[in-house]
Structure 1
């Protein structure tokens, strides 16, 4: 059996411990044995190049829990959405609670206010990790109890804003309507990536995604592409050929094997054109050697 098939499931008591510590219900993906809690920044009003963008466009953090393949420990992995002045207080809180920082970086250009993303991880028992993670974020805006409600649902959702069948036909995947946005989340089923004895799968952070905001004829796209080192520059070349801006190239994880590089991108134009650029980048994946340049 593959590690994903043999990873022990979280028990009902462990899921209860997570949701009690965070004070919020999450979702459990049985196929991956991963529990995820969304941590959106509903307190923020964000613009990109002066245009308002919804929080689901790319300003929603998350935290996930998954056991190691041997079942002897578990991992917490999260991505936090922070204002500049919130970054170092959260770092200190994470380290005080025995958690580690895996990455600190931007996902966007031109956004106001300036947003940074801090990846946090740790190993232990599920209940202990849930408590330590909750204690880490308790004094911050990202703690669920410190967030305002999301507000009334939008009058126009991603279903009305976009020609979803046309986008799905281009991308060759089915996305999810999230408020006024439409989002694709795509795993790397061609790879087996391990970190600290845990198989990294789609819902614990090993994924490529694309989020569409705006309207069909005037859309914005933002997203992230998970790549092997040898795929990075081919993806960059492909995105630029489709007039999509490359925003950041960096890692999200420590001790992952093989090492995964993540690329964030941003574009604006007709949604079908943006979808073609995203699909072209997907077509590059899986067609490069494990390493970088050949010498």
Structure 2
């Protein structure tokens, strides 16, 4: 290489190496602007829980706990010094359009709006949102939208002890073939798909809503109510639907959550209230139809 060209190439390389790395988002400022703090997850996502603890919802005589089916959230994934934010906001019917209007005016996209359950009183709807850009600006937009709902924005104090789970959790885990965890009186399973999910060129990790979620809420004796969502590719939708129905589990919704994800995903919500181990076996029959990451 000519001496001048070599010197030029070395200068460019040195200049690039001396460029400062993009600063990580200031999560404390995001929390202050949003009005509620969250947790930085192991995958680097900053996730803020937005459970509707203000609502008293019942379904088929079961008082629905917030962590069972009313657990909204927003999550911020770093992309350089900017972020992608996704969320699932739980709203009552009268809150939907005021929140949509405010978020849309602020540059937040609405990517889905739907039910999760049937027969629940009062009815709740679930609004999925997407934004990209400056994290504090996005937090301000989300704060403005959430302010038009009654979503509690107080940071809850963790309970000193977990409520007892009144069914055999070890037998349920054995039936499903996965480990769960107790969380506020709910027994939860989070299961990742085998594929890498992307949206707009960004990886969508489990904490951004790409994982299967299964919740058990004790309802007395060895019984439990179950709900959650299966994350499916198109070829899995009807095999999973059949497996659930054959095992006495009601399918309550089927829809999208995102707009540009790859591979294309469908989210199936479900409900049943029966013997917990029996339901776990039914859920396992459905999971066996899916391409899941190893446990």
TM-score (norm 1): 0.85
Q: Give how far 1:162 is off.
A: 2.4
Structure 1 runs not aligned, ≥5 long:
1-7, 288-295
Q: For 1:33 and 1:100, how far apart are their aligned partners in 2?
A: 23
Deviations 1:52-106 (A, max 9, x none): 12111110100000024xx364211010111111111111011011101010000
Q: Give how far 1:139 is off.
A: 2.8
Cα–Cα, structure 1 residues 119 and 62, in superposed 2: closer, same or farther, change >3 Å? Answer: same
Q: Which residue of 2 aligns with 1:109?
A: 118
Cα–Cα, structure 1 residues 21 and 72, in superposed 2: closer, same or farther, change >3 Å? Answer: closer
> Does the 8 Å contact 1:185/1:207 carry over to 2?
yes
Flag as ranges the 4+ runs of structure 1 deviating above 3 A: 152-156
Structure 2 runs not aligned, ≥5 long:
1-20
Do residues 183 (structure 1) and 188 (structure 2) align? yes
Q: Give how far 1:38 is off.
A: 0.4
> Does the 8 Å contact 1:17/1:130 carry over to 2?
no
> Does the 8 Å contact 1:105/1:117 carry over to 2?
yes
Cα–Cα, structure 1 residues 179 and 257, in superposed 2: closer, same or farther, change >3 Å? Answer: same
Q: Give how far 1:125 is off.
A: 1.9
Q: Which residue of 1 aligns with 2:89?
A: 80
Q: Give how far 1:222 is off.
A: 0.5
Any residues of structure 2 matched to 1:1-295 within 5 Å, and which? 11=24, 14-30=26-42, 32-68=43-79, 71=80, 73-145=82-154, 157=163, 159-188=164-193, 190-214=194-218, 215=220, 217-286=222-291
Q: Give how far 1:27 is off.
A: 1.2
Deviations 1:200-259 (A, max 9, x none): 110001011111112452211001000001110010011011110000110000111111
Q: Secondary structure of 1:21's partner?
A: helix
Q: Secondary structure of 1:233's partner?
A: helix
Q: Which residue of 1 aligns with 2:15?
A: none
Q: For 1:278 and 1:14, how far apart are their aligned partners in 2?
A: 40
Q: Which residue of 1 aligns with 2:4?
A: none
Cα–Cα, structure 1 residues 249 and 154, in superposed 2: closer, same or farther, change >3 Å? Answer: farther
Q: For 1:246 and 1:256, how far apart are their aligned partners in 2?
A: 23
Larger CA Rg, structure 1 vs 2:
2
Cα–Cα, structure 1 residues 99 and 275, in superposed 2: closer, same or farther, change >3 Å? Answer: same
